[in-house]
Amino acid sequence: MVALGGQTLTLTQASGTFAGAISGSGGLTVQGGTQTLSGVSTYSGATTIATGTLALSGAGSIAASSGVVANGVLDISGTNAGASIQSLRGMGSVALGGQALTLTNASGSFSGVISGSGALVLAGGSQTLSGTNLYTGGTTVSAGTLELASSGAAGAGAISLFGGTILGLANGVNIANTLVLSGDVTFGLASGNATTSGPLSGTGSLTYTGGGLISLAGDGSAFAGTVTVDGTLSVNGILGGSVNVRSGGMLKGNGTVGATTVAAGGTIAPGNSIGMLSVNGPLTFAAGSTYALEINSAGQSDLLTVIGTATLNEAMVSVTKEPGSYLPGTRYTILTAQDGVSGTFGTLTQDLPFIDLALNYEAADVYLNVVRNAVPFPSVAVTTNQIATAAAVEALGQGNALYNGVVSQTSVPGARQAFNALGGEVYPSAMSVLQQESLILRRAVLDRARMPAVAPSSAPLAYAMKAPAGTDVFDVPGTPNAFWAQGFGAWGRIDGNGNAATISGDTAGVIIGYDRTFSGSMGDGRLGFAAGYSSSMYRVEARSSSFSSDNAHVAIYGGTSFGSLGVRFGGAYSWADINASRSVIFPGFFDALTADTSARTGQVFGEVGYGLSFAQLDVEPFAGLAYVNVNLGDFTETGGPAALTSDGGSEGVTYSTLGARMSMRLPLGPIPTVFRGTLAWQHAFNTTPETLFAFAPGGLPFAVSGAPIASDAALIEAGLDMAVSANASLSVFYAGQLAETETNNMLKGGFTLRF
């Protein structure tokens, strides 16, 4: 006998067999070698196998020990009738041989390997197995909770569970063992997914509980008890007996179950996506229960097939729609009952803007029909463009690809996205861009018209005034003829207004001209003409649209002065060849469209100014007026069903300008240099362009507005004129058009040759 008292006996190099008894409240530790116990020990402390082996043989027992920590080997293969221990923990191994190991008061987790042809019995407490075990004699749970944390945790034999026991599953496990039930048994999964794929048999009751999804994939036709679903159970095999789905529970899957009752708050949901669940017996929905089903745009749906009577009791129907186009006239079979349908469903959830789901009943079947509701397309639109486009699309009628694409939208935001994409606002917005760009040519020729009629042969200092002494860059008299050229690059943006989206882009080009000064009874003046070319590229990012244009320009201009009063005038005409492209994108729909069209821009303009001289500074207050008309040509887009046709459009805008200019000679060495600057306020009348469209061919005409030009903008300009020879000058300038909703920035350089 070994009397431990309250101490721990540690065997560091164990060997041999001890046939006596070990007693006391202390424990036993094996730290190497192999120790065999063949007597009945009564010590109550822990048994720790750190390394080495602890073997039980004959009638050897350590049943009174508070538990075994097996990081080495626990070997019970030599016992006469197996062994009992209170609990098992550790990561070592257990050798059963042909014997059974019984856990009487389990409270731990064992991640090692249990092997042999013997069995494992849980008679109380809670035991977790997380290793891949090799024993083949089966697992019996007569009391307590067995937690299986790996797919091979229960070895290769059957798992037998008795009344009051719990089988806990971990996320991701697949238990292929045969499951034999007797009494009231619970399967639990806290979260995630787990599967039982082995056969299921027995009587009594089986309760599925927890926050996870347990899938029954095996053959449970031999089970003759009652299944209670408190959590989520997916039956993808066969489950005998009867099923009660309680409040908060969900029954789903593609398998077969017995007679089923769904209580208030419970849910039945066939399939794991779209699928069919068969009920081999009657199906009863309680009031307040839910039938949750999925449908898709291909006409497929979940289905309940009932070998018996289906009693509906005003249960709710909740429909989940997979992405796609749902068209009125589509019919889904969602329930069929061999012995007929009793009653009707109650509430049917609706969440589509333009179509409703309607239930239809026959003697043995329930159908779900897709029907057009009374909501007009324009009623969900929020902008003027959306409303106009929505009405035109609705007029196309069912069967048209655009109508079908919109009517099947699963959300109001999706419908609004469709109306925005279909509207073609890049075309009226292009007219706003051409209006904005008209200022480039107007500025260029008015700059020339302002040059003094009698001036030095370099860049001037003043505009329409007679420059005081000492202000001229040169003292030599000017020549009457001038050839000039100006290159420019500009980038700009016109903001959206909540109806149309922002358009932005850039343009670059060159303008060349010739003018001649004159003097006569009408005062000193200048007449000239100009021509130019520019290329533009603009984008409406929010509408996946863009256009490019090649532009040709011609202009005539003139100016005269009467003392300090100057008058300038001109007219210009521009041709634009436009290539536009649009991508029409909204849920379930895509179309790529292009169009070639043209635009013509005509403008007339004039201004008056009064020059004032202050030593080296010249100032001119001025007022201007311009009228610009942009005419967009007709076109028909090529592409798919979203193609638009249009007779074009016209936008005429009147501009008034009030401001002041100044010029000042700069003492910058041998190159005569003049600084020039302008600050003005421009006001535009009639600022929103509009184009009339129709969906090609033969759709209802509808009007769409583009991004509006700013009603009020600041015009600024600053730069230098430099005389590089007696007859030639260079200039470099920044010019801007700045407004709260519009900006255009330009850099330009010029050359003038007088002769």
| Residue 435, SS3 per DSSP | helix
**H or E element that contains 401:** helix 401-407
Count of CA atoms in the C-beta half-sphere (13 A) of 388: 19
Q: Give the model's pLDDT for residue 522.
A: 63
Q: Cβ distance 99 to 81 under 8 Å? A: yes
Q: Cβ distance 636 to 647 under 8 Å? A: no
Would you list the DSSP string of 302-365?
-EEEESS-EE-TT-EEEEEE-SS---TT-EEEEEEETT-EES----B----SSEEEEEEE-SSE
pLDDT at 523 over 80: no
Q: Cβ distance 49 to 92 under 8 Å? A: yes
Q: Give the model's pLDDT for residue 615.
A: 80
Chain centroid to Cα 22, Å, comes to 70
Mean pLDDT of 666-688: 91
Distance, in Å, from the CA atom of 593 to the CA atom of 415, rounded to the nearest integer, reads 20
User: In 3D, which of 454, 456, 464, 508 has the Cα closest to residue 749?
Assistant: 508
**Pairing outcome for strands 46-58 and 67-70:** parallel
- Tens digits of residue pLDDT in 324-338: 778 899 999 999 999
- Contacts (Cβ under 8 Å, ≥6 apart) of 374: none
Q: What is the DSSP letter of 165?
A: -
Question: Band of the pLDDT at 456, cuts 50, 70, 90?
Answer: very low
The pair of three-digit structure tokens given for residue 113, joined into one six-digit string: 């390997």
Mean pLDDT of 71-79: 97
Question: Band of the pLDDT at 616, cuts 50, 70, 90?
Answer: confident
pLDDT at 457 over 70: no
Distance, in Å, from the CA atom of 460 to the CA atom of 5, rounded to the nearest integer, reads 117
Q: Cβ distance 575 to 467 under 8 Å? A: no
Mean pLDDT of 482-498: 97
> With the C-alpha atoms ordered 134, 139, 144, 150, is the resulting torsion angle positive or negative?
positive
- Cis, peptide link before residue 456, omega less than 30° from 0: no
- Tens digits of residue pLDDT in 566-589: 999 999 999 999 999 999 999 989
Q: Give the model's pLDDT for residue 699.
A: 85
Q: Cβ distance 308 to 284 under 8 Å? A: no
Distance, in Å, from the CA atom of 348 to the CA atom of 332, rounded to the nearest integer, reads 14
Structural domains in the chain, CATH included, are: 241-375 (no CATH), 377-419 (no CATH), 423-754 (2.40.128.130)
| Residue 392, SS3 per DSSP | helix
Distance, in Å, from the CA atom of 418 to the CA atom of 390, rounded to the nearest integer, reads 9
- Tens digits of residue pLDDT in 197-217: 999 999 989 999 999 999 999
SS3 percent helix, strand, coil of the chain, rounded to 5, is 10, 55, 35
pLDDT at 461 over 50: no
User: In 3D, which of 616, 579, 609, 585 has the Cα closest to residue 422?
Assistant: 585
Q: Give the model's pLDDT for residue 454.
A: 36
Distance, in Å, from the CA atom of 275 to the CA atom of 537, rounded to the nearest integer, reads 52
Q: Which amino acid is at 22?
A: I
Owner of token pair 């407004």: 739
Q: Which amino acid is at 495?
A: D
Q: Give the model's pLDDT for residue 545.
A: 98
- CA-angle at 236, arms to 230 and 242, nearest 5°: 50
- Contacts (Cβ under 8 Å, ≥6 apart) of 227: 205, 206, 207, 208, 233, 239, 241, 242, 243, 244, 257, 258
Question: Band of the pLDDT at 410, cuts 50, 70, 90?
Answer: confident
The pair of three-digit structure tokens given for residue 166, joined into one six-digit string: 């719990």
The pair of three-digit structure tokens given for residue 219, joined into one six-digit string: 């053959």
Distance, in Å, from the CA atom of 305 to the CA atom of 5, rounded to the nearest integer, reads 69
pLDDT at 504 over 80: yes
Task: For the chain, state the CA radius of gyration.
Answer: 45
Question: Band of the pLDDT at 477, cuts 50, 70, 90?
Answer: low
Lowest mean pLDDT across 31-35, 161-165, 457-461 = 457-461
CA distances from 689 to 129, 428, 740 (A): 75, 5, 18
pLDDT at 474 over 50: no
* First and final C-alpha spacing in the chain: 132
- Tens digits of residue pLDDT in 242-256: 999 999 999 999 999
Owner of token pair 């309607």: 358
Q: Cβ distance 54 to 74 under 8 Å? A: yes
Question: Band of the pLDDT at 671, cuts 50, 70, 90?
Answer: confident
The percentage of residues in the chain with a pLDDT greater than 90, rounded to a whole number, is: 87
Q: Give the model's pLDDT for residue 452.
A: 58
The pair of three-digit structure tokens given for residue 109, joined into one six-digit string: 């987790």
Owner of token pair 């010019």: 735
Q: Cα torsion for 740, 743, 749, 752, to the nearest 10°?
A: -70
Mean pLDDT of 635-650: 95
Q: Give the model's pLDDT for residue 670.
A: 82
Question: What is the overall mean pLDDT for the chain?
Answer: 93
- Contacts (Cβ under 8 Å, ≥6 apart) of 698: none
User: In 3D, which of 137, 127, 132, 129 has the Cα closest to residue 99?
Assistant: 137
The pair of three-digit structure tokens given for residue 715, joined into one six-digit string: 């015009």
pLDDT at 414 over 80: yes
The percentage of residues in the chain with a pLDDT greater than 70, rounded to a whole number, is: 96
Distance, in Å, from the CA atom of 719 to the CA atom of 487, rounded to the nearest integer, reads 14
Q: Give the model's pLDDT for residue 479.
A: 76
Mean pLDDT of 332-357: 93
Distance, in Å, from the CA atom of 580 to the CA atom of 590, rounded to the nearest integer, reads 17
Q: Cβ distance 194 to 200 under 8 Å? A: no
Would you list the DSSP string of 442-495?
HHHHHHHHTS-SS--SS--S-SSSPPPTT--S-SSPP-SEEEEEEEEEEEEEE-
Distance, in Å, from the CA atom of 239 to the CA atom of 463, rounded to the nearest integer, reads 98
Distance, in Å, from the CA atom of 511 to the CA atom of 602, rounded to the nearest integer, reads 17
User: In 3D, which of 599, 701, 626, 615 has the Cα closest to residue 662?
Assistant: 615
pLDDT at 54 over 80: yes
Would you list the DSSP string of 188-203?
EESSSEEEE-S-EEES
Q: Cβ distance 251 to 258 under 8 Å? A: no
Q: Give the model's pLDDT for residue 577.
A: 98
Q: What is the DSSP letter of 709?
A: P
pTM of model > 0.75: no
Q: Which residues pair with 566 in a beta bridge?
A: 561, 609
Angle 412-422/384-396 helices, nearest 10 degrees? 90
- Tens digits of residue pLDDT in 266-290: 999 999 889 999 999 999 999 999 9
Mean pLDDT of 543-553: 98
Question: Band of the pLDDT at 196, cuts 50, 70, 90?
Answer: very high
Lowest mean pLDDT across 86-90, 518-522, 537-541 = 518-522
Q: Cα torsion for 110, 113, 117, 123, to the nearest 10°?
A: 0
| Residue 747, SS3 per DSSP | strand
CA distances from 585 to 321, 421, 422, 676, 740 (A): 20, 6, 8, 49, 30
**H or E element that contains 752:** strand 742-754
